[in-house]
Each structure stands twice: as structure tokens, then as C-alpha cells.
Amino acid sequence: MPESECSVSILSGLKGLGLGKLENMDIYEEEEKKEQEKPAAAAVHKVDEKDLIFDKSFVCPVCDSSFASKVVKSGKAKLLGTDQDLRARYDGVDPAKYEVVLCPVCGYAALSRYFSGITSAQAKLIHEKISQNIHISAHNEETYSYEHALERYKLALVNAVVKKAKASEKAYICLKSAWLLRGYGESLQEAGNPDEKLLQELAQQEAEYLENAYKGFVDARQTEGFPMCGMDEVTVDYLIAALAVQGRKYDVAGKLIASLLTNTAASARIKEKARDLKEQVLGEMKK
């Protein structure tokens, strides 16, 4: 039977209901039209790093100069996951690249959470030991490269040492530096055909920074109060345990993990991560 006749037979009988003019309708015409008019699927939009950062104004507490430093837009980057040592990974941007604020006039540098919190005595030390000797090149790129970010972290660490910062601040700089180096290595691998020698160097530097972060946090845990670097006691204990595992200090890690698993103040998330650490320790000790 021809298709047109089929359509008529399906709707025949509508004339008796006063709808005779509709008996010859194509029952799928509207759907076919919609399908034809349906726009093509939009291409997957790749997040551009420069769209996730902006220039924020700062006033240097050492030399009173006004300047801009690039920071990540709050809430704009999509969280992809968290590493064992609490490093957060985001789509399109590595936040670690933008956490150091550097005064281009006097060379004072610090992680953003510590930048303004400086005493007059500390400012004097920085002026005498850093500002009078440093030479800073202008940076005019839209984003910070990993190489430039690493330079900023080194300046933040040397500033922390010069101003006699707390162990926790120096440990936090070392931890973030390790995260930055890890991100650098990942970016090289994602780009394809990476320099294996450079990857090994980055991994070695990361391990050294993690070891220094461990030492600093252990010291701070014994001498400082909480919150520490924005973290509560449970989070710091987990972080030390994770760093201990990475440094193969299984006795320290085991004690902290056992304490975390029985700590009623520890969240379900921290306990789950602690259990993962425990499994890793048991597996590595069998090797």
C-alpha cells in the first residue's frame, strides 16, 4: 500500500468529528521538521587558562608599591579530583601557578594567604637582604608559565627564610612547590613526546620539596597551634601521614593512620583517604 494511503487510513474517520481537513495529515511531519531544524551539536569547548585568571591589585607591605598579580577566579575552574597529598586538580588551569604574590619593585614574595601578614621587623630584613640586591625581569605574558611560576616559588621560599617565617609557612611553600612541579611534569606528558631527562629532574625536585614539606609540618605540628595553613588538626595529621608514605616512613605513617581511623573528629572523607593510605602502606611493605 502506498505511504500516502497508509497515512489516510490511519486518520480516516475524523470527518465525522468535524476534523475532516486533518485526515490527510502526515503524523510524523512535525517531528521530521524538528529533526531537520535541530542545530548541530556544539563542539566541545576547551577551557582556556587565560579565561580562568585575572589581575588582582595588591599593595606591597614592604615598599608600599601598588601592583597587579594574576590569580585564579574563585569558583570558575572545575575540580577534577584530589591527589593523595591533597593537591587539587582543575580543568584548564593549575592553581598552584598563581598562588605566589610577588612585588616587582622590591622582590617581596609570599603565598597569597601570607602576603599581607608581615611585621615591620620582617619587612626590614627583606629590604636589607633581598630588595637591595634583587633584579626582577618584567613579565607581560597573559598567563604564568611553569618556569616563571617556579621562579616565584623560589622567591617566596627565600623570603620566608629571610623573614624568619614559621615552619608551617615554609612547609606549605615546599608542598605547593612540589604540586607545581608535579603539574609541570603532567603538562609535558599531556603535550606528548616529553624530554625524559627533564621529567626525571622534575620528579627528583618534587621529592625533595615533599621531604622538606614533611619536615616542616612535623616541626610545626609540635610547636604551632591550629588552624595551620588553613587546615585543622585532623587534616594536618592526614597530610603528614601522606607525606610520610611518599617518603617511605611507614612507621610514622602507620601511627598517624591508626589515630585518624579512630578519631571521631575525622570526616568520612579523611577516613576513606586514610584507609587508602593504609592499603598502600601494607602493599609496599610486602614488596
pLDDT at residue 47 in the model:
84
Say whether pLDDT at 24 is over 50: yes
Looking at the fold, whether 113 and 253 belong to one and the same domain comes out as no
d(CA 152, CA 144): 10
70 pLDDT above the threshold of 50: yes
Q: Give the pLDDT mean for 136-154.
A: 94
Q: Which pLDDT band holds residue 14 (cuts at 50, 70, 90)?
A: low
Torsions phi, psi of 101, nearest 5?
-100, 125
3-state secondary structure of 28: coil
| Cα–Cα distances in angstroms (integers) from residue 270 to residues 26, 248, 261, 282, in the given order | 61, 20, 9, 18
In a domain, 44, yes or no: no
Asked if residue 260 and residue 133 are part of one domain, the reply reads no
Residues 66 and 133 in one domain: yes
User: Looking at the structure, do residues 102 and 135 belong to the same domain, yes or no?
Assistant: yes
Q: At what angle do helices 196-223 and 167-191 cross, to 10 degrees?
A: 160
Alpha-carbon dihedral angle through residues 57, 60, 66, 71, given to the nearest 10 degrees: -20
On whether both 209 and 79 belong to a single domain, the answer is: yes
- Residue 282, all three cell numbers: 601494607
The percentage of residues in the chain with a pLDDT greater than 70, rounded to a whole number, is 84
The whole-angstrom separation of Cα 70 and Cα 22 is 65
Q: Which domain holds residue 12?
A: 3-33
Residues 119 and 239 in one domain: no
Q: What is the pLDDT of residue 281?
A: 94
User: Of the candidates 185, 208, 225, which is a domain's last residue?
Assistant: 225
Tally of structural domains, the chain: 3
Asked if residue 39 is part of any domain, the answer here is no
CA 136 to chain centre: 26
- Domain assignment of residue 213, yes or no: yes
Q: Is there a single domain that holds both residue 58 and residue 16?
A: no
Element of type H or E holding 66: strand 66-72
